[in-house]
Chains A and B, each alone.
Chain A
Amino acid sequence: MAYDYAKYLRKGKLPHIWCAGCTYGIVLKSLIRAIDSLQWDKNDVAIVSGIGCASRLPGYVDFNTLHTTHGRSIAFATGVKLANPNLKVLAMGGDGDMTAIGGNHFIHACRRNIDMTVFVFNNNIYGMTGAQYSPTTPKGAWATTSPYGMSENNFTITDLAIGAGATFVARTTAYHVAHCEKTMKEAFQHKGLSVVEIINACPTGFGRKNKFKTPTSMLLWMKDSAVNVEKAKNMSQEELAGKFTIGVLHKIEKPEYIETYDATVGLKK
């Protein structure tokens, strides 16, 4: 079915800066479909990003868009939301942006449970600066700053979010486009802070030197490695080795920050 993406795109700002084979464009389309399916007024949506290839996304979509400093999107978004809780706020960025330089903001946002959504575009590498390792680069993987192989341990972003107190945590991939759209939509509808890790491919920075010769091979890796959480429940550790789960990994109800604050301090709205 033909879909009218143009309604949400800033056509004058295209073409985008992303490399051929980068999956950010695919995710962008999922995002547009997710927002469209919720029938949100464009004026009510604020998308806040940090710095990195992923963080260039807001420039292409016709909402209130804020491209901030490296790692700080969540902190900017917090101010936006507190000043105008009517806005639907999405903070987004790459794995480096969100979990290295922005790691502190990320965990505290999970703890606070402000009603907004955080997307982490995880391509396991710093794309924009040319393939340096990130906190999610797997052990042994090549990066320009790990030319002998990554020696640090890596974060599992979703575990980090759950540990820090996030009330909605999900994972999806750029390959699973319908799932990606559905997961985004669910995250948007959750009251409180929702975190979605979106597995992405950076063929230029990560794939090329890490045994993924083509962009397609990275998408096939996502296809083959992703196991739905429901299905994973009936699988053994051996069967799950080398795979990752997708779907809603964690969902609980907890009082939302602004409502709690306003009630605590006696703010009448």
Chain B
Amino acid sequence: MAKKVEFMMGNYAVAEGALYAGCKFFGGYPITPSTEIAERMAERLPQVGGRFIQMEDEIAAMASVIGASIAGAKALTATSGPGFSLKQENIGYAMLCEIPCVIVDVMRGGPSTGMPTGPSQSDIMQAKWGTHGDHPVIAVTPASVQEQFDETVRAFNLAEKYRCPVFILTDSIIGQMMEQLVIPEPGELEVIERPMPDCKPEEYLPFDMDKDFVPLAPFGSGYRYHITGLHHASDGFPTNDPVLHTKNTVRLIERLNKNYDDIVKVEEFMTDDAEVLVFAIGVTARSAKHAVVEARNQGIKAGLVRPLTIWPFPEKHLEKLLSKNTVKGIVVPEMNLGQMTFEVQRVAKGRCGVEGLYSLMLDPILPGEILEKIRRFV
């Protein structure tokens, strides 16, 4: 049978990916340039037996998503910079309470209301540190309309598998461009469903600190328990014990660290013998690929490292390339003033040059600009 191929907007592809993954709830608040995700979900969710609601603000939207997930639904919200900021307190709640859900941030220029229609990559650190406290973060970074779909499915899977919120960090260029989307057949992409606990309800420990993973029993399923945003013991009830608080926080962080290989996805292009690497995500990575091809045409051994997961930071991947001691320099183009560059420098530990290429100019960084930076290392 011929594949279903569509010419689709990136934001719509997120919505379609969510539905493919079994999403049954969307709570949102409109904000450019993410709004088309909400609009598509408003239209499509009822067709698959799900519900959409436009809440009164982003705080409420995030809260409703957590509530829906606790009641058993795979849930999505989508926003941009200022809305992402408003969601942060409840995102922290979802982190601590291990609530699977997916949050799309279509990045726009900031701070504040900033550049509503301007693309940007300036929420990389907000995604990591936006809410208070120590906690791990998963953030995926699609770079095409097809990846908007595929990575959304993966984001839902990661959310269920690791029982945590997962971010999709994208930008208004990828979100609002139209490209070809090949819609996979049902069953073609893996879809992870939420498991139910198999113990007796009275034995259920929803936050068992001695286990990596405990299924989240939906409210109403006969497993009655308590959830609180206070630090809690294995049974979910508040505790002030700093030892337990430490143990649980470390457990959550380690849960992701231990599964780096499953979570962190990186596309490497011509990196085998590369002397100069370009490290880029999203729309910038598309320009970077052109720059690498052009550099190769000119006899420069350049390669591209393109993370599809930016958090956890792809340090193992970088480490592997840097340990060969053949890399002279890394170029990090990004549409902010150096958020990702700092991380690359942290991993490089001075073993090679690291040069950022920053832009707040609202246009994609061009291949020529990246090539120029590559040349400086040869």
Chain A residues at the B interface, C-beta cutoff of 8 Å: 10, 13, 42-44, 46, 48, 51, 58-59, 62-69, 72, 75-84, 86-87, 104-105, 108, 258, 261-262, 265-268
The answer, yes or no, to whether B229 is at the interface (CB within 8 Å) is yes
Contact, CB under 8 Å: B56 / A66: no
Contact, CB under 8 Å: B224 / A83: no
Interface stretch of the complex, out of B10-18, B67-75, B245-253, B336-344: B67-75
Contact of A63 among B56, B224, B238 (CB under 8 A): B224
Contact, CB under 8 Å: A77 / B67: yes
The answer, yes or no, to whether B179 is at the interface (CB within 8 Å) is no
Known contacts A82-B25, A84-B71; 17 additional CB pairs below 8 A are A46-B220, A59-B238, A64-B220, A64-B224, A66-B70, A67-B228, A69-B93, A78-B27, A79-B25, A80-B70, A82-B64, A83-B69, A83-B70, A83-B71, A104-B56, A266-B46, A268-B49
Most chain-A CB neighbours within 10 Å: which of B60, B230, B238? Answer: B60
Q: A67-B230, A80-B67, A80-B219 are in contact. Are A265 and B46 (CB under 8 A)?
A: yes
Contact, CB under 8 Å: B227 / A67: yes
Contact of B63 among A43, A51, A76, A87 (CB under 8 A): A76
Contact, CB under 8 Å: B72 / A79: no
- Residues of B near A80 (CB, < 8 A) are 67-68, 70-71, 219
The answer, yes or no, to whether B66 is at the interface (CB within 8 Å) is yes
Contact, CB under 8 Å: B229 / A68: yes
Distance in Å: Cβ of A199 to nearest Cβ of chain B: 26
Contact, CB under 8 Å: A82 / B226: no
Distance in Å: Cβ of B233 to nearest Cβ of chain A: 11
Contact, CB under 8 Å: B55 / A78: yes
Most chain-A CB neighbours within 10 Å: which of B27, B71, B73, B237? Answer: B71
Distance in Å: Cβ of B353 to nearest Cβ of chain A: 45
Distance in Å: Cβ of A74 to nearest Cβ of chain B: 8
Contact, CB under 8 Å: A108 / B67: no
- Residues of B near A267 (CB, < 8 A) are 46, 49, 51
A106 vs B214: C-alpha distance in the bound complex, in angstroms?
A: 34
Contact, CB under 8 Å: A82 / B51: yes
Contact, CB under 8 Å: B51 / A69: no
